[in-house]
Structures are given as structure tokens and as C-alpha cells.
Structure 1
């Protein structure tokens, strides 16, 4: 039960949601880290191709986070108000959206893969490797989106364990399959793409099966989908800001050197992995904050927000210390290329120092997403990207600052976001009660 004075909930309840969410969030980037380690031993060129292809494919999940985060926000409010069937039906409609949008992405991606890769890489060999990987991996796009929608509605009804097993089933089998296809069968970089698609097939099938077993109507409801798209609009614009930054960073790294883009891939994948580790407590916040506001418990929502912020800061500090300690060892797990290893320190220490800041930022992102405060997050992210990350990235290209310049831009971006979300949290304007938050 929540504390009647502070509104905080027992830590056991928070971590009962956060720990399984950590497994779900970490599974995909952990698989990518395994994939990076497998491909990295093929040499710098395949690693660079994976780096560019992986960034392009990541647009699928990062641009369409409303299918998970937006669905969680809407579902959690309905669940908190005692309307479980309606909450699950949100998941049905999010799944229909996932299928439709995913098929469009598959078609458009196949048409644009080559010209986009050539435009970003600035090197024909890197572009060729990226396109070979991407054309296969894109067949997993609709399945990735179905998995996102499934995670969204299950988090909203505070069912954290089943999504963990579904995602682990897919990624675990694929992680074993990846080195077999890359080395054993001899498919090289393309083998890693095939293994990626296998993971998505398994996970998506399990989430669809879970919806069918709920015995709710499965037909499309366009009114609900329209409401989801209203929230999705702001989250897509927010994601666009992230991806404009990270695509620009990949493009500038590619134009620096093959070794620089390989090093950027290694550190960026670690950054992505730890961002999702930190976001695990924020997933609990989304569910708990949304449910509290849906039940009309504003005090509890604010109490959970304070808890999650403290947990995020502590976890970020721990990660900072751990990854500082392994700075001489961990990079060698991903590559033996001397040139790539020489470039990694130019990004590594930014990545380490940012962890405590990231802990607070991601925690408060989770609080505000759980409250459905997407319009504020959209604006804060767009302004932070335009004022911090993007200018430093392109100045790095113009003045030859390399990875140090790129990661200085990320640092500014995170500081601007920190200021914005802390001010919003302290204001309390995000805590709007009701089973459905008005757009």
C-alpha cells in the first residue's frame, strides 16, 4: 500500500515492475552487443556496415515509441480506474497500428535503403555492407512494432513478467543462432540480419497469442486508434529529434574514418544498453504514475515520481563507477582492431561521466510519459537537440573534432534535458487525474 502522507509505494512494488522491465529493455540492446561482438571480429568494414545499418533500423523502434510508451500511459490510467477490459483493448488497437505501420516501413525501407545508406556513409564500401544487412533486417520491422505494442499494454496492466519471457525467448534463440550463421554457415554480416529477424518472429508471435487469450474483441476500432495517434504525434516528434541527432552523429563519424565509425558503434551501443537499464525504473513509474492518476490519487503519483528520481540517480552513479573501472578491458570484447580501439577513448569518458545525469533524466522521462505529458517532452527534446547536440555534431565535421566533438554535443543535449524535466517535475503541472487524459 502507498504511504498515506508521502504517497510513495513500497520499494518491492517498484522493483517488482522494474526488474522484469529491465530484462525486456536490456534484451534487444544486449543482443545487439552480442551481434556487435560477433561481427566485430570480421573486421572494421563489416563492423562499420553494422553500425550504419543498425542506426537506420533503430529508427523503427525509436520513431514509434508511442506504440509502447503511449500505450502504457493510456492503458495504465484505465487499469487504475478499474477498467481492465478497456485497457487490454488499447493493446489490440496498438497492435493493429503496429501491423499497418510496419508493413509500410518494410516497403519504404526496401526502396530507400541504398540511397539513404550512401548519403549517410560517404563511403561506398561502408554503404554496401550496411544495405546488405538492412535489406534482410527490415523484414522484422512489423514484428518489432507488434512487440512494442505488446509490451505497452502489458506494462499498463502491471503484468511485467510475461513480456520478459517473450522477449528473452526470441533474443536468446537468436543470440545462439547469430555466430552459427555468421561463422558456421559462412553468411557473414548477412547472417546476423537473419538471426535478428528470427528473434522478432518468435517474440511477436508470443505477444499476439497473449492478446488472443484475453478474449477481448480483436476487430479494429478506428476511434481508439485515432486517440492513440494524437498522443503518438508528440512522441514521434520527440523521437525525430533523437534520431536526427544520432543519424547525424553516425554520418559525421563515417566521414571521419572507418575506425572512428566502428568506435562510435561500440560506445553508442553501450550507451543505448545503459540508457535502457536506467529506464527500467522509469517503466515502473509509467505504470504506477498512470494507474495512480487514473484512480484520482495525485499525491501518490507525485510520491512515486520522487522515488523514481532518487532510484535513477543512485543507479546512474553506480554505472558511472563500474564502467570507469572496466575502461581498459571491455572495449576489447567488441573488437581487436587496433585503430578502432585507439578511437574508443575519445567517446568513452563522456559516456561514463553522463551516467548520473542520464539516471535522473530517464527517470523523469518515465514519470512524465506515465502521466501522458507528451507535449512537454516533445518541446523539451526538440529545443535541447537544436541548441545542443546538432550544432556540435556538424561543427565537429567542419573543424575535425571527431568523436570528442560528437560526444560533447550529446553532453550538452543531456544537460538541457535535465534542466527541462526537473523544472517540470517540480512544478507539478504534469499530475492531471482521470481515467483518460485530454489531448
Structure 2
């Protein structure tokens, strides 16, 4: 009897929503239909996400050869540009991905219904004369390009946000640098301000490119953005040494190379969109700006909350001096670049889940959520091992300054150990976005940010440079807990797990 009671207890516990994360864990790397779908979406998305941080690391390596002052100056500017960009780019691309995936799922459902009813004639189809003098008319040839209203909405919003971001960064460059701890009499001011203003000219192209990427992701096509990004970033890498050293433009050359590459990426993506999609919808109301902006505002709140923690961390590092900032810049770029590998999983999970939720395929949503989270843990552990193995070699690629190298060696254990935590945090974001749970993502991040900022100020004050990294680790742990709480307790769109 006692054995039956224990067995019943374990059986009931296994039905708790929390245990969805352990579902079919033995199949985590299985090459079944779902595994291949995740790989086909996630791997190209991961490579695309990695391309820009890798290009930024190469920029950093070139600039690092110029000296610690230039490296620190660009580090502050890149931190400002990236954090301002994150405020607009993640809401834009995430919402576009979910909305396009939902529209595509609805479109396929409608098409299946029409095929099942045998309806293939459109009474409203426009007729045109067979010849110039004939009274006989035939149906006007159809434009086989698809209508995706969310694509048009995203491009319009992206263009507006990009222009606003450019103007904001140009006119507030020096105040932002002062906020980051760069004093007006610092030798970093002139270099950092010039780099930031030049880099800001690429903001419209970046936002428009991200809007286009969101469209392709929603359609589960992550290969097209990958090809465009590889071409653009290759041009960036080729132009770097030419503009920086051959033409003696210094850090300004690195900024110009980056801007050129971003406009090239945008042109390639728009060219592919125009080939397959009608970007001008038949009705302006189809754009649904209200829904787009509502969800966008919710994610904007989330990103601002998350960005504030990273911006404050960079600011506190800058206040410690050029060498701590230089070390923080390199390690922070590596931290983000490796962590963003998990964002490819998040994108795959979001695209598949958004489609499954739209079709109310709840069994598939559970399977997909469990699989991407399990793969995230495995990926994080693998990244930790790799970073530990290459840490000493990687440090010397960016600088020869002994003091900077010593600080980087202090940072690397944090960068390596937090990889599984970071991976889960990113994947949980994708899972929540796939469920269109934008409101919870925003509210939970506000709480996480308040707690993390408190830790940052306290630990930076008491432990200096090391304290900043401890606080960033706490920040990522809290993000994972927030995601675990939502799905693991079966709240919001996951309430079906409790039935």
C-alpha cells in the first residue's frame, strides 16, 4: 500500500506543468521531424545572429591594435549604440516573427478549406480583353506573390524608428557619453563621439533589415537572411583594414565599413521580399498598426528594462577607467556573441510555437517548448566547455596590454560558467514570444531589472570590476526564474497544461 502511495505521488507530480521541461528528454538530440524542423530554422538563424557580433569582434581586434585608448573609446560607443538599438530592434523583429507566423498559419488553414470544398474560382477576379479588338474576356493573370500585411507594417515602423534613432544618437552623443562615465576632459570623448555619430547613420538600414528578417523568420525561412548577412559582413571585414589602416581613417573607418555593410544587407533582403511578396496591401486597415504598436510597446518596456541593466554595467566599468572598460568591452562582446547562439533556438521555438498556438495544436506546443529548452541546456554546457578551453588564446587576439589581459582573465570564468543560464534565458524569451505572451515578458522584466540594478550598484561599490560580473550573473539567473515561473506553473497562455 505504501508503495502504491509513493507511485501515485510520483505520477501526480509528473502531471505538474513544471515537468513539461523533462518531457522526452532522452530525445533531446534526436533527428526526428521536430528535431530537423528546429535545426533547419535554428541553425541558419544562429549563424545569422552570430555574424554581426563576429564582425564586431573583428572590428574590435583591428581597433585594439591601435591602442587601449581607441579600444576603450569604441567600446563605450558600441555599448551606447547597441543598447539604444536593442530598445527598438528586438520588439520589432520579435513581433514581426510572431504576427507573420500567425498570418501564414491562418492563410494555410484557409487554403486547406478552399481545397477541401473544391472552390477554385474567384467571382471577383478582374477580367481583361483577350485582344485589343475582341469582346471576349479572360481572367487577369494572378500575381502569385503573397500578401503579408505584417511585413508592410514592420517595414514602415522600422523605417520610422531607424530615422528617430539616427537623429537621437547624433544630437545626444556627448551627453550619452557623459552618462556612461566619460568625462568632458577625457581623451576618449572626441574619438567615441565621432565613432558613435558615424555608426548611427546605419540605424535605418539596421531596423529595416531586422523587419525583413522578422518576416522571413515568421515564414520559417532563416536561410535568406543568413546569405544577406554573410555578404554584408564579409564586405565589412574587407573594408575594415582598408579604411582603418590603408586610408588612415582610424576608428572612423571601422564605423563607415559597418554602415556600408548594413545598407547592403538591407538592399539584398528587400530585393528578395519584393520578389515573393506584395508589400503594398489592398487595404490600409489590413496593416493593423494598433495591434502591432500595442505588442511593440509591451516588448519595448521589456527591452528597456533589460537594456538598463547592461547599460549601467558598461557605465560602471567605464567609470573605473580606460583599461577596465577595454577589458569589459571585449569580454562583454564575447559573452553576448556566444549567448546569442541560443537565440537561434529561441527563433526556431518562437516560429513553430506561434504557428502551433494559432492552430491550437497544444500537444505540439508542449513538445516544442520542452525540446528547445532541453537543447538550450545542452548548448550552454557545450559553450562553457569551449570557452574554458580557448580563454587564454582568445584574450591575446584583442590586445597586448598586460593590465587589460589580467582583467580579461578575471572576467572569463563568469563568461564561461553563465552560458547554460544565458541559453535558457534566451530560449524562454522565444517560448513566451511564440505564445504572444508579451505582457508577462514586460512585467516580469521590470521586476528583474529593479532587483538586478540594485545588485549592480551594491556589488560594483563593494567588489569593483568583479562585482559587475557577479551582478550580471544574478541578472541572467533572475530572467531564467521568470520564464520558469510562467510556463512551469501553467499560467497565462500555458493554462492548458493544468487541464
- TM-score when normalising by structure 1: 0.93
Q: Distance in 1 between matches of 2:404 and 2:313?
A: 16
CA root-mean-square deviation: 2.1
> Contact (CA 8 Å) 1:40, 1:335: kept in 2 or not?
yes
1:207 and 2:232 aligned: no
C-alpha deviation, 1:121, in angstroms:
2.9
Q: Distance in 2 between matches of 1:24 and 1:200?
A: 13
Q: Distance in 2 between matches of 1:91 and 1:325?
A: 43
Listed as ranges, the gaps of 5+ residues in structure 2 are 1-22, 112-144
> Contact (CA 8 Å) 1:308, 1:364: kept in 2 or not?
no
| Change in 2 beyond 3 A, CA 1:325/1:217 | closer
Task: Select 2:106's aligned residue among 67, 73, 81.
Answer: 81
Q: Which residue pairs with 2:153 in the alignment?
A: 93
C-alpha deviation, 1:9, in angstroms:
4.8
Q: How does 1:76-155 map to 2 (within 5 A)?
A: 76-82=101-107, 88-123=148-183, 124-155=186-217
Q: Which residue pairs with 2:342 in the alignment?
A: 278
C-alpha deviation, 1:61, in angstroms:
3.0
Task: Select 2:328's aligned residue among 252, 259, 264.
Answer: 264
C-alpha deviation, 1:93, in angstroms:
1.1
Q: Which residue pairs with 2:315 in the alignment?
A: 251
| SS state at 1:106 partner | helix
Q: Distance in 1 between matches of 2:439 and 2:33?
A: 27
> Contact (CA 8 Å) 1:302, 1:431: kept in 2 or not?
no
**What whole-Å deviation, never above 9, does each CA across 1:320-375 have from its counterpart, x for those lacking one?**
11101112111111111111101112221111111111122211111111111111
C-alpha deviation, 1:139, in angstroms:
0.5
| SS state at 1:327 partner | helix
Q: Distance in 2 between matches of 1:415 and 1:394?
A: 17
C-alpha deviation, 1:68, in angstroms:
0.5
Q: Which residue pairs with 2:61 in the alignment?
A: 37
| SS state at 2:360 partner | coil
Q: Distance in 2 between matches of 1:56 and 1:409?
A: 19
> Contact (CA 8 Å) 1:316, 1:356: kept in 2 or not?
yes
Q: Distance in 2 between matches of 1:343 and 1:76?
A: 44
**What whole-Å deviation, never above 9, does each CA across 1:218-258 have from its counterpart, x for those lacking one?**
26946522211111111111111122111111111111121
Q: Which residue pairs with 2:19 in the alignment?
A: none
C-alpha deviation, 1:297, in angstroms:
0.6
**What whole-Å deviation, never above 9, does each CA across 1:83-139 have from its counterpart, x for those lacking one?**
598872211110111111111111122110112112313332222221110111100
C-alpha deviation, 1:395, in angstroms:
2.4
Q: Which residue pairs with 1:70 in the alignment?
A: 95
- Range 246-255 or range 135-144, more displaced: 246-255
Q: Distance in 2 between matches of 1:353 and 1:193?
A: 32
C-alpha deviation, 1:396, in angstroms:
4.2
The 4+ residue runs of structure 1 with deviation greater than 6 A are 5-8, 84-87
Q: How does 1:294-309 map to 2 (within 5 A)?
A: 294-309=358-373
> Contact (CA 8 Å) 1:60, 1:141: kept in 2 or not?
no
Q: How does 1:399-410 map to 2 (within 5 A)?
A: 399=462, 401-410=463-472
Q: Distance in 1 between matches of 2:252 and 2:246?
A: 13
1:392 and 2:452 aligned: no
C-alpha deviation, 1:215, in angstroms:
4.1
Q: Which residue pairs with 2:130 in the alignment?
A: none
| Change in 2 beyond 3 A, CA 1:217/1:187 | closer
Q: Distance in 2 between matches of 1:69 and 1:384?
A: 20
> Contact (CA 8 Å) 2:45, 2:344: kept in 1 or not?
yes
Q: Distance in 1 between matches of 2:85 and 2:36?
A: 30
**What whole-Å deviation, never above 9, does each CA across 1:45-80 have from its counterpart, x for those lacking one?**
111111111011113431111211111011111212
Task: Select 1:181's aligned residue among 220, 235, 243.
Answer: 243
C-alpha deviation, 1:431, in angstroms:
3.8
Q: Distance in 1 between matches of 2:432 and 2:413?
A: 29
Q: Distance in 2 between matches of 1:109 and 1:61?
A: 10
Q: Distance in 2 between matches of 1:284 and 1:227?
A: 23
Q: Distance in 2 between matches of 1:397 and 1:317?
A: 28
Listed as ranges, the gaps of 5+ residues in structure 1 are 434-439
> Contact (CA 8 Å) 2:43, 2:344: kept in 1 or not?
yes
